[in-house]
Structure 1
């Protein structure tokens, strides 16, 4: 069920019988010369809405702009300052608690949101409002990604390219895949941009001239479908697990 499609009287039965909601969050930021700036929020909304369809749980509208100042040098990137993002997401999530939701899955597709969603989840849990947990699609299928791509890259690489080829192929500039690979940073690992253990970079452009990492020519819609189905299975499983948890077990333990 997608909340924004429903008239308010038709939501009453959901809030009376269910207590879980999915909230998709992404970003509007550069993803290289070949992918749309909507990449992350397309991915997040696709996972959340499909999971809602398969499980019957509620999906909220998508938070389309995230914490993305590290991509600001590239045309069109939008971002929210981290404190404003946290406060906004917390406020919107509290709306759901008002209607009776006591557990939320932040269906996230942007790495820059992760730490901030964890902080929002802690705030809401610590004050007893509800239990919110962050889920990042690629972190749920790390082994499959490693098996599928030689150089997956953490941003705009073949894993995200493949997903968009699968979900919204008309938005992919297929003729620019080689340009993306050759003008970006093909190899990226734990040593990139680090000196004697210190992380020396702050922005994406510090490591990649065109904003992306990995080998985009290794992407395909077929690979994207495989990744999507595997991650979706994990998300629906997480929904069922969270719904089964007794409420008292989700909130902070008492002081010893």
Structure 2
């Protein structure tokens, strides 16, 4: 059910089988400390949605590899950041064309924390324009309580931490630099702060957390939780209808 591998003649039957449900994975290209490659957020969104599409029969749109990563600053090379308005416009226009193809249930699966606000704006625009389109934004680190607890095990603010490193050890070891993990730990310095500071003012090396504690086994378990819990949400979404049938337009 990979959108990019289907022909136009196959979409009507594909969408009917999926009950007009599609996943849009959104990632980012940004520094992840000295031990993880810049594609981490894109990799997790892509691999998670591929697994969930296979389990649920939902269609998976091509993964967006860029996000709103402005907070990572220009201190470390490798980050390619979109302005919030650019991401809003991009996702809104993807939604427009997905709707034209027949999608009526769109789940935007977000692999990067600070994409959340622009994606919510795109959601607002799409549902205000299309009366019969339902849209959700689901953040990969917050799919369920157990997934959220694992991501925050070494700090409320985290990046390239124990959980993310463990996930990559399990599902994409080729983007992990094993010999750079030791010595990469950097603490969460955000407790008690009033302002939201960019990463160059909260981390010495682009990491927030303890990647040294990561293991492949815990990454495999966490990924299995993410697939299971997101699959349950998608199965519910495939059957959901609005509580009331009232039109947005009056």
Tell me if TM exceeds 0.5: yes
Indicate if the aligned counterparts of 2:12 and 2:102 stay in contact, CA closer than 8 A: no
Listed as ranges, the matches of 1:211-226 within 5 Å are 211-226=206-221
**Residue by residue, what CA displacement relative to the aligned partner does 1:122-148 show, whole Å, maximum 9, x if unpaired?**
111122352211111211244455468
**Residue by residue, what CA displacement relative to the aligned partner does 1:83-132 show, whole Å, maximum 9, x if unpaired?**
01101110011111001111111111100101111111111112235221
Q: Relative to structure 1, is the Cα distance of residues 208 and 8 closer, same or farther in structure 2, using a 3 angstrom cutoff?
A: same
Task: Please report how far the alpha carbon of residue 247 of structure 1 lies from its aligned counterpart in structure 2 after TM superposition.
Answer: 5.0
- In structure 1, stretches of 5+ residues that fail to align are none
* Aligned match of 1:117: 119
TM-score by length of 1: 0.88
Task: Tell me the number of residue pairs that the alignment of Structure 1 and Structure 2 aligns.
Answer: 246
Residue of structure 1 aligned with 2:179, choices 171, 175, 180: 175
**Residue by residue, what CA displacement relative to the aligned partner does 1:148-191 show, whole Å, maximum 9, x if unpaired?**
8751552110111111111111221111112211xx3x234532
Listed as ranges, the matches of 1:109-148 within 5 Å are 109-129=111-131, 130-143=133-146, 146=149
Which stretch of structure 1 is more off in the superposition, 82-91 or 68-77? 68-77
Distance in 2 of aligned mates of 1:14 and 1:21:
10
Distance in 2 of aligned mates of 1:247 and 1:101:
16
* Aligned match of 1:199: 195
Q: Relative to structure 1, is the Cα distance of residues 20 and 155 closer, same or farther in structure 2, using a 3 angstrom cutoff?
A: same
Distance in 1 of aligned mates of 2:149 and 2:87:
31
Distance in 1 of aligned mates of 2:148 and 2:242:
34
Indicate if the aligned counterparts of 2:28 and 2:68 stay in contact, CA closer than 8 A: yes
**RMSD of aligned Cα (Å):** 2.2
Q: Relative to structure 1, is the Cα distance of residues 113 and 147 closer, same or farther in structure 2, using a 3 angstrom cutoff?
A: closer
Task: Please report how far the alpha carbon of residue 251 of structure 1 lies from its aligned counterpart in structure 2 after TM superposition.
Answer: 7.7
Which stretch of structure 1 is more off in the superposition, 58-67 or 235-244? 235-244
* Aligned match of 1:13: 13
Task: Please report how far the alpha carbon of residue 200 of structure 1 lies from its aligned counterpart in structure 2 after TM superposition.
Answer: 5.5
Q: Which runs of 4+ in 1 moved over 6 A?
A: 250-255
